[in-house]
Amino acid sequence: MKTRRIVIFGSGQIAELADFYFTNDSTYEVAAFTVDQAFFSHNEFRGRPVVPFEHVAEKFPPQDFSFFVAIGYTKLNLLRPEKVAAARAKGYQLVSYLSSHATVFAGFELQENCFILEDNTIQPFARVGSNVTLWSGNHIGHHSTVEDDVFISSHVVISGGVKIGQGSFVGVNATFRDHVTIGKNCVIGVGALVLEDQPDHAVVAPRGTERSKVPSTRLRNL
């Protein structure tokens, strides 16, 4: 049974996914989408109305509708908190999505505007801040902290006692040893193995696998 109607900020792929997940796996009903006037180009998205954000409170008042900001890691996670703050300033309550296929334990407190997808495991005594995206398949170890505005991609392993600093981005398949601290606004690249603390604004970017000089047509024993 749907208990609350919401407006989603965005009209891109993440907004489309948010609509799918909220519609099929939550008690929220998506009523409309909204975007900034400068990016307003269509009156409808996924069969629902799209309205300029500048006028959204007039058509979908905050006393009747809640809000979700469906934006990725644009501008290193700076845009998403800006829009969360703007929605809050209009009087909206920010909601979150927690997949029914995620694993959480007693004592976990879901903060506002989080997007936690399927197959995430959040162990006891771990804390996830507000406005955090956890894409599918991550392990958040016991006593770890993911601070506000973080975006974590898929299949990341965060061991026990780790701290991921506010506004950071973590790429697919990154691994953190226990008790390391990652500063604010860091970028941890795809496949990174993080064994020591990182300062604010650090970039850890492993090199990708090099392409062989031998073309596939010359491989005889594959």
Residues 134, 156: Cα–Cα separation, whole Å: 9
- N- to C-terminal Cα separation, the chain: 53
32-38 long-range contacts, Cβ below 8 Å, gap at least 24? 32/7, 32/8, 32/56, 32/59, 32/60, 32/65, 33/7, 33/8, 33/9, 34/7, 34/8, 34/9, 34/60, 35/9, 35/10, 35/11
Measured between alpha carbons, how far is 133 from 111 in angstroms, rounded to an integer? 11
Residue 72 annotated as lining a ligand binding site? yes
Q: 83-89: which pairs have CB atoms within 8 A and are 24 or more residues apart?
A: 83/9, 84/112, 84/113, 84/130, 84/131, 86/53, 87/9
Question: Which residue type, as a one-letter code, is found at position 68?
Answer: F
Q: Which residues are annotated as a binding site for substrate?
A: 72
Q: Which residues are annotated as a binding site?
A: 72
